[in-house]
Structure 1
């Protein structure tokens, strides 16, 4: 077993229940929430890329990451609550998540002292981890969200990294955090593949 912030999702969803009820009353759709989260992530990423020396933007990134996680949780809750789960919505959710991740991670390349190959490796491996989670469906398993470095965990890790940038902590520590994230991503990839294969497709009964 490996701990992941994703395991706290049920409690987090309980806290979001009042927001969910309000959105449902206003007939907001899950896809609108998904697109909003993606567009806000792109906008914040562009702001970071344009003003990488602005400590306030880096300081605000952990807060934005929390807001993004809330929106990501709400779209799924809203889809279930209003019975609006669709194949298009599922695809949009996966694609939007990867676009948002890239938009918020790549601006770190402009931070002085960041080891660029390490950052690129983290970004690529994060994408591969999520691909493995989706590919588990091909093995007859459910969509895998195993940790220890899933989407929520990466949001936390890069939130911490943003704080280090904001407070101008030496680049040695920034790269150390990235190195730890990289190792945990490798562990996560192994976990998702292993657990997907533990739940193979069941042959149809006659």
Structure 2
């Protein structure tokens, strides 16, 4: 099944001027990673306390794109200039989970029916990333299988925010959206486990 993650190589190429600029300014991958997390927390807090304000639904999709860019930049910066570190591995995985959780929690306030669907979505998102990380220790390769991987989830949240921005009455159906997305995450967990058991040669 197609995942936005498959577009990552082309996206990284477009970001190369920014990567080179940041390297020239002595910015490290870990600084980019931490900055992305702090911005995610700030956006999540603003979202939580402004769910009834229209402007926040314009901010969210823009920030989701910026966050995806920053997530790609820190990786390219580390690999291209040999700046990988053990701390960077921890930060990369932990900050992604923290960021997702903080950005998704406010939707609990918007779901009119079965708000626990958002909790299920968040929990499965965390399990999905755990499955990807565990596969690295088992087979030597981090798994990013879709559908509904990290980039897909960011895209989904951005689309939901845009629809809400234009006053499309989505709230009565949000729980269906999160439950459907959760089923797709279950599929990606299965794929990551199965593919993660294959030893890389």
- Same fold (TM > 0.5): yes
When normalised by structure 2's length, the TM-score is: 0.95
Q: Note the C-alpha offset of 1:187.
A: 0.6
Paired residues for 1:47-126 under 5 Å? 47-111=46-110, 113=112, 115-126=114-125
How many angstroms apart in 2 are the aligned matches of 1:58 and 1:199? Answer: 43
> Is 2:131 the counterpart of 1:169?
no
Post-superposition offset of 1:198: 2.3
* 1:195 shift after superposition: 0.4
SS state of the match for residue 199, structure 1? coil
Q: Deviations over 1:82-115 (max 9, x none)?
A: 2110111011110010110011000111115153
Q: 2:190 corresponds to which residue? A: 190
CA contact (8 A) 2:111 2:174 kept: no
Rounded to whole Å, the distance in 1 between the matches of 2:95 and 2:102 is 10
Structure 2 residues not aligned, in runs of 5+ = none
Structure 1 unaligned blocks of 5 or more: none
**Aligned-residue offset at 1:179:** 1.9
Distance 1:123 1:112, change over 3 A: closer
Shift of 1:147: 0.3
Alpha-carbon distance between aligned partners in 1 of 2:149 and 2:62, rounded to the nearest angstrom? 18
Distance in 1 of aligned mates of 2:138 and 2:81:
29
Deviations 1:19-71 (A, max 9, x none): 01100110100000001100000000000111110111022211110000000
Following TM superposition, the consecutive aligned residue runs of length 4 or more in structure 1 with deviations greater than 3 angstroms are none
Provide the aligned C-alpha RMSD in A.
Answer: 1.4
> Following the alignment from structure 1 to structure 2, what is the Cα–Cα distance between the partners of residues 99 and 177?
22
Partner of 1:199: 199
Asked if 2 retains the 8 angstrom alpha-carbon contact of 1:141 and 1:197, the reply is: no
CA distance in 2: counterparts of 1:17 and 1:33, whole angstroms? 14
2:44 maps to 45
For 1:137, the equivalent position in structure 2 comes to 136
Mean CA deviation greater in 160-169 or 182-191: 160-169
Give 3-state SS (helix, strand or coil) of 2:143's partner.
coil
Alpha-carbon contact 1:34-1:92 (below 8 Å) kept: yes
